[in-house]
Structure 1
Amino acid sequence: MASSSKSASFSQQEINELQTTYEQGGLSKFATQIVKKLNDIENVKLNIAVTGDSGAGKSTFINAMRGLRACDEGAAEIGINETTMVRTPYKHPDFPNVCFWDLPGVGTTKFPMKDYVSKMEFTKYDFFIIISQNRFTENDAKVAKEIQNLEKKLYFVRSQIDNDFNSLKLQGVGFDEIKELAQIKEKINCGLMEAGISEPIIFLISSLFPKEFDFNKLKETLLDNLDGIKRDVLLMSLPSTTVKIVEQKRAQLKKRIWMLATVSAVVGAVPVPGLSFAVDLGILVNAIIDFRKSLGLDGASLQRLANVAKKPVEFLKAEVRTPLVGEIDKEFVKQMLVRSSFAAVSVVEVALDTIPIIGSIFGAVSSFGMTYKLLTDVLDDLVENAQRVVTVAFAPDPSHPQ
């Protein structure tokens, strides 16, 4: 059986084994396997190492990846002098299984190169980001070689690009931004290749302006180079700063819906008054709250987005036009199910494109079909609101969002 830790949805082999599980053990054992997969998604950990010289902008970058400012609770400390004297973990405020590790700079008396890899526990990280505010040093190259020897993914990030361009503007120097960025990247690439780093992956960013330069490209590359559940957990943790990220989150969350609907209909199910089926209302309540958090529509996420976009949070909240951002409890979900009952659709319509054996397990119209439809409608509603919030958050003119 394919490893659960490597896939956020079931592989064909796992689907075949689910079919066998159902045939031999019935619906209860079938649901138990799905619960295991959901637990894998919930519990997987992602550890990201961020290293580089003092003043390179590691802390600011870690904060930006988590949608935080230096003044926010849980933010990495930022200072003019070296602030990272020990290996320091910074968990995501909403997704604590995603952890960024701020590593002290290498090459000092306290952290000589010969001890650095072992002291920093390089084997525990999923991938590495080396940050520099100007050129990458000999020490950076030495660290990079150690990472490559471990066959782990490595990314070079040149930070504070906005300062470079502002300096040129203040001096009255005319320049073509695209050409200037290409020249900077080429110079870095040549330097790293000369230092023995093969095919370095380089990004030019400003952590203070995550919509500009290569920041979004960096996020997309990180996602592309992760597999299955770890990709899923990183995606959900990223601030919803672009419509593309929101759409990627929709696609991933939709893969969970049939699993949640199955468990809701089978595990600890109770009858819903006024309807002819039973569901686990607690699972549905938690699913709606998780969808809302993943898409950045909870209060804390909206405040963090407002801070990044430099817009009043009330301006963003005004674009959220759904009761799903209010209190979600079992009674609320019951009422949603009752109101949705007239629109029941067959399992064949909603599930066979996702997992073929579902249609043979549940009836044409069933508790599965209703809860599947409910969560699909919930996801579509939340995505529509999230897209609207992101669009106005970063529109140049708040009165004319683009």
Structure 2
Amino acid sequence: MGAAPSATYSERQNQDLDSSFKAYLKNCKTESKIISQETIRSIQSHLAKGDLPGAHSVISDALKNIDDIPLNIAVTGDSGSGKSSLVNTLRGIGDEGEDAAPVGAKDTTMERKPYKHPKFPSVTIWDLPGFGTPNFQLKGYLDKVKFGEYDLFIIVSASFFTKYDLELAKGIRAMKKNFYLVRTKVDFDLQNEQQFKPTTYEREKVLEEIRNNSLKEFYKNDIELQTFLISNKDSSEFDFSILMDTLLKDLPNQKRNKFMLSLPSITEAAIEKKKESLKQNIWLGAVKDGILATLPMASVFKDNDVEKLQASLHQYRVCFGVDDESLQILAKDLRGHVEELKAIIKSPYLLDTEQDETIGEKLLKFLDGLSSADGGLLATGLYFRQIYLQFHFLDIVANDAKVLLKEAYSRKQLTYH
């Protein structure tokens, strides 16, 4: 018998694509998948049948949906409750930032107003007028502010939730929408307690009292709910990260991904979740691009390959808040210089080249290093070697975000003490 014919490039391509998609599924937690189970089954079916155009179409539609799908979050509460500051925090900007929602004496919302996220324009935070005033009674309020357009609702109070908040919550629940009660300015309450009761002050005890007192109106009606305690001055304190985790859990797959990427990198856990989400985008994009590859990956990078990798690096820096604009804002917030921050991170200089070296040559050096570290697995000539470069960039940028997080915390601690 003659030797079995070797697999054609097309057959090897099918095998690579199928194994890559299986690797994506294996390395992705169920609760954090950015595409639906229905979409996953459809992609698997097309790949199993060798229907690459069908798989490409499904993945392209899924990625476009992830990029374009709108997310609308409504924030409502009385004037002075910190509602507008929360709108700004969710958009990752300060109260004095460009296009910030007005706070303080100017914070009197008379009609709903949309605030686009500066980096993710399909994410909109809506500042709604407070409920329970003569101008805004429950009858007609939900229609007037078009509550049917929002994915979720945050009801904000700086003291305790009133009977009006209770009515509003019931109205939202009747619409089968999720709502969340947020108690702001907790840092001021703690400061006041510590100042006026220095000998009996116990931080955790005061926080528990704030939780219970803020929900008295709900308890009277036998409604048990969680309230999230936050400080708009410092989103790394109190329950802000718990609130964000809860919102993410309650959103559908594609919108969860969009919201995750738009959030500020306030904890290492949040940074890791962003990293996990972006890894999924890389895997799916690699499978989609691999379908169109009719020849094995060349030994040199073409101009469009270099441009794509440069764009990917920039996207990651923006997502994690380590791009040049974000560094300028952080430096100003920390009353330092942007050069000091750049000196402790790597991503701004990642693609800097030596004399007479092209960026393509720099990328090939990265691949050589990654191949050595990976035991030669990257030297197989597979099209998917490029995803390892994207993973490499992503790891560096995510680590930069953690370094900046620690630096900001350290400097703030020195300021407080």
Common fold: TM-score over 0.5? yes
Alignment of 1:186-201 (within 5 A): 186-195=212-221, 198-201=223-226
1:300 shift after superposition: 2.1
1:187 shift after superposition: 2.0
Alignment of 1:137-152 (within 5 A): 137-152=162-177
Q: Does 1:235 align with 2:260?
A: yes
Which residue of structure 1 aligns with residue 406 of structure 2? 391
Which residue of structure 2 aligns with residue 381 of structure 1? 396
Counterpart pick for 2:100 among 68, 75, 96? 75
Alignment of 1:113-262 (within 5 A): 113-171=138-196, 173-174=198-199, 175-195=201-221, 198-262=223-287
Aligned residues between the structures? 379
Q: Which moved more, 1:144-153 or 1:9-18?
A: 9-18
3-state SS in 2 of match to 1:157: strand
Which residue of structure 2 aligns with residue 339 of structure 1? 365
1:129–1:155 CA contact under 8 A, matched in 2: yes
Cα deviation 1:83-102 (Å, max 9, x = unaligned): 21110011111111111110
- CA distance in 2 between counterparts of 1:367 and 1:332 reads 23
- CA distance in 2 between counterparts of 1:261 and 1:376 reads 12
- CA distance in 2 between counterparts of 1:339 and 1:28 reads 33
Which residue of structure 1 aligns with residue 23 of structure 2? none
1:350–1:369 CA contact under 8 A, matched in 2: no
Equivalent AA in structure 2 for residue 38 of structure 1? L
1:286 shift after superposition: 2.9
Q: Give the direction of change, closer, same or farther, for the CA distance of 1:50–1:391 in structure 2 (3 Å limit).
A: same
3-state SS in 1 of match to 2:64: helix
- CA distance in 1 between counterparts of 2:376 and 2:160 reads 53
Equivalent AA in structure 2 for residue 334 of structure 1? G
1:269–1:278 CA contact under 8 A, matched in 2: no
Alignment of 1:292-371 (within 5 A): 292-306=317-331, 312-323=337-348, 334-342=360-368, 365-371=380-386
Equivalent AA in structure 2 for residue 193 of structure 1? Y
Unpaired segments ≥5 residues, structure 1 = 1-5, 352-362
TM value normalised by structure 1: 0.83
Equivalent AA in structure 2 for residue 379 of structure 1? L
1:264–1:284 CA contact under 8 A, matched in 2: no
Identity %: 34
Cα deviation 1:251-286 (Å, max 9, x = unaligned): 111112122223344448899874399975554333
Q: Give the direction of change, closer, same or farther, for the CA distance of 1:349–1:36 in structure 2 (3 Å limit).
A: farther
3-state SS in 1 of match to 2:384: helix
- CA distance in 2 between counterparts of 1:311 and 1:220 reads 31
Equivalent AA in structure 2 for residue 378 of structure 1? F
4+ residue segments displaced more than 6 Å: 268-273, 276-279, 325-328, 348-351
3-state SS in 2 of match to 1:109: coil
Equivalent AA in structure 2 for residue 232 of structure 1? N
1:344 shift after superposition: 7.3
1:264–1:279 CA contact under 8 A, matched in 2: no
1:303–1:313 CA contact under 8 A, matched in 2: yes
1:239 shift after superposition: 1.0
- CA distance in 2 between counterparts of 1:55 and 1:344 reads 53
3-state SS in 2 of match to 1:33: helix
1:129–1:157 CA contact under 8 A, matched in 2: yes
3-state SS in 2 of match to 1:368: coil
- CA distance in 2 between counterparts of 1:139 and 1:308 reads 37
- CA distance in 2 between counterparts of 1:54 and 1:277 reads 56
Counterpart pick for 2:127 among 99, 102, 112? 102
1:54–1:82 CA contact under 8 A, matched in 2: yes
1:245 shift after superposition: 1.0
2:78–2:131 CA contact under 8 A, matched in 1: yes
1:74 shift after superposition: 1.3
3-state SS in 2 of match to 1:47: strand
1:344–1:369 CA contact under 8 A, matched in 2: no
3-state SS in 2 of match to 1:395: helix
- CA distance in 1 between counterparts of 2:59 and 2:96 reads 41
Q: Give the direction of change, closer, same or farther, for the CA distance of 1:285–1:326 in structure 2 (3 Å limit).
A: closer
3-state SS in 1 of match to 2:139: helix
Larger Rg: 2
3-state SS in 1 of match to 2:311: helix
* RMSD after superposition: 3.4
Q: Give the direction of change, closer, same or farther, for the CA distance of 1:167–1:11 in structure 2 (3 Å limit).
A: closer
1:212 shift after superposition: 1.7
Q: Give the direction of change, closer, same or farther, for the CA distance of 1:55–1:300 in structure 2 (3 Å limit).
A: same
Equivalent AA in structure 2 for residue 301 of structure 1? S
Q: Does 1:372 align with 2:387?
A: yes
2:116–2:123 CA contact under 8 A, matched in 1: yes
Q: Give the direction of change, closer, same or farther, for the CA distance of 1:89–1:269 in structure 2 (3 Å limit).
A: farther
